[in-house]
Amino acid sequence: MKRVTLNEIFNHPITQKYLQRSGIHHAVSTAEQSVTLAEQQGVDLDLAAKSALLHDIGHYEWYKDGKWDYEEYRKHDIHAIKGAERSHKLLIRLGENKERAKTISIAILLHTDSYLPFSIESMRTPLHDVVFRADEMEELPGGAHHYVEMDTGEANERLARLEERILQNQDPKRSIS
């Protein structure tokens, strides 16, 4: 099975459609942060980067009087559920290993518990924790991190550098956790 790259994932029309909504800068920066955290914790860098890049692919927008209503969105948020399904389908379509696609999708599902009536903090695996913490590191008040701009050229350059870093530090065994 071929190795699916971050740039292949990023440049897919589905990814482009949804990252335009949730923020390209936030997705790329969270992927970068996740690799740093994964290196420190001995977590698979490729899984961390892909999970973080796609973690908000399930976002959609809530509008009130023509403006995005962040508070209304927070009340009805299920982006992690939608994102897990959307990312799994995308990764399989791109040729990702099915087990790895499932692991990435579960990390996306569990990167937040904002949609749940209880906390999952004590249940997170090291991969889930890396994605959660990387997302938290990039967060700005009122969801402003979703509106920091980045053009696709810069995103592709940063993802290519991140891909090189992953390949240089990749464990030949490529664990799933």
Residue 174 counted as domain residue:
no
Strand partners, 67: 64
pLDDT of residue 110: 92
What lies within 8 Å, CB to CB, of 89 at 6+ separation is none
Query: What mean pLDDT do residues 121-138 have?
Result: 93
pLDDT of residue 5: 97
pLDDT of residue 118: 83
Residue 106 counted as domain residue:
yes
How many Å apart are CA 115 and CA 16, to the nearest integer?
24
Residue 1 counted as domain residue:
no
Confirm if 128 and 110 have CB atoms less than 8 A apart.
Answer: yes
Query: What mean pLDDT do residues 11-26 have?
Result: 91
Residue 84 counted as domain residue:
yes
pLDDT of residue 176: 46
**CATH code for the domain in which residue 42 is found:** 1.10.3210
How many Å apart are CA 5 and CA 127, to the nearest integer?
19
Residue 67 counted as domain residue:
yes
Confirm if 27 and 49 have CB atoms less than 8 A apart.
Answer: no
Confirm if 48 and 37 have CB atoms less than 8 A apart.
Answer: yes
Residue with more model confidence, 68 or 85: 85
Residue 161 counted as domain residue:
yes
pLDDT digits (tens, 9 = 90+) for 25-43: 999 999 999 999 999 999 9
Residue 52 has pLDDT above 70, yes or no: yes
Place 177 in a pLDDT band, splitting at 50, 70 and 90.
Answer: very low
Number of domains in the chain: 1
Residue 74 has pLDDT above 60, yes or no: yes
Residue 86 has pLDDT above 50, yes or no: yes
Residue 175 counted as domain residue:
no
pLDDT of residue 62: 61
Domain of residue 83, residue span: 6-169
pLDDT of residue 147: 79
Place 163 in a pLDDT band, splitting at 50, 70 and 90.
Answer: very high
